Amino acid sequence: MLVSAKEMLVKAREGKYAVGQFNINNLEWTKAILLTAQENNSPVILGVSEGAGKYMGGFKTVVGMTKGLIEELSITVPVAIHLDHGSYDGALKAMEAGFSSIMFDGSHYDIKENIAKTKAIIDIAHNRELSVEAEVGSIGGEEDGVVGSGEIADAAECKAIAELGVDMLAAGIGNIHGKYPENWSGLNFEALGNIQDATGNMPLVLHGGTGIPEDMIKEAISLGVAKINVNTECQLSFAAATRKYFEAGKDLEGKGFDPRKILAPGFEAIKSTVKEKMELFGSVNKA
C-alpha cells in the first residue's frame, strides 16, 4: 500500500533499525524492489530523482506504474514514493503527480533561504498528509546532476530546520553519492551525535549508502539514522549481471535477444542486493 514515509520512519527510529530507500529507474527496478520488500515483510521507500522521473516519462507515469504494480503484485507492505533531491518546482510537481513523500534539497541555498523554502514545502505537503525530508550540509559526490562537496552539517542549522516540522532530516556527515574513494575518511560520528542531540527524536537520513562498511551503518542507526539511501549498489549489481549475460553469449542462444530474458539476470541481482541491505538495516519483518 502507498503511504507517507513518516510513520515507518518513526517506528524505525524507535526500533533501532532503518528503512531502505532504493532508487528506481524503470519497471524492472520497481518490480524487483517491491517483490523483495513483500518477500521480506519490510517497509520500503522508492526513491525517484527528477532525472529518473523524466527518463521514465514523467512523475505521473512513475506513480501510475507503481500503483499498478502494488495492486497487480498484491503488495501489502508499506510503500512510499519519494522524490529524491527535489528542487522547489520539482517538489510541487511530484506532489501534484501523487508522490507520497517529498525531499526538498535546499542545502545549496544559504540557511535563511533553505529554511524559507523548506517551510513553504512543508506547509503544502502536510496539508496533503505527505512526508517531507530536508537537507542540511550538502552530500558529497554527484547524483543526477546534483553536486555536493561533502560538508559536515552544522548541528544548530539542523535544529533550525527540524523545528520547522520536517519528518526526516538528511545531514552531511562525510557521506558521498556514488563509489567511495580509497582515501575516504569515513563517517563523522561526533557530528552525527551532535545532530542527534540537537534534533531530538527526528528520524535522520543517511545518503550515499553504497559502500559504507557494515559497522558504520550499524553505528549510524544507533545514533538516530532511520532511513538509508541505496542507488549506486543496485546499478552496479544490475550492470555486472547484464554484462555476464552478454559475455556468456546468452543473447545469441535461442531467443536470448528477448529483452525480458536480457533483463532477467539484472532483475535478480537487484533483488539480491535489496534483500542484503534490508537484512543489514534490520527492516526485515518490520512491515
Q: Are strands 141-143 and 146-148 parallel, antiparallel or unpaired?
A: antiparallel
Residue 48 in 3-state DSSP?
strand
> Which cell numbers hold the place of 154?
552544522
Q: Decide if 89 is catalytic.
A: no
**What is the residue-wise DSSP string for 178-214?**
SSPPTT-----HHHHHHHHHHHTTPPEEE---TT--H
86 by DSSP, 3-state: which?
A: strand
The C-alpha cell at 253 is 542462444
**How far apart are alpha carbons 204 and 158 in whole angstroms?**
10
Query: Cα(241)–Cα(250) distance, rounded to whole angstroms?
Result: 12
Question: How many angstroms separate the CA atoms of 214 and 217, rounded?
Answer: 5
Residue 77 three-state SS: coil
Cell of 11: 517506528
List 84, 105, 154, 167, catalytic entry: 84
For residue 66, give the nearest of 23, 129, 12 by alpha carbon. Answer: 23
C-alpha angle with apex 225: 220 to 231, nearest 5 degrees?
A: 90
CA distances from 241 to 232, 248, 278 (A): 14, 11, 20
Active-site amino acid positions: 84
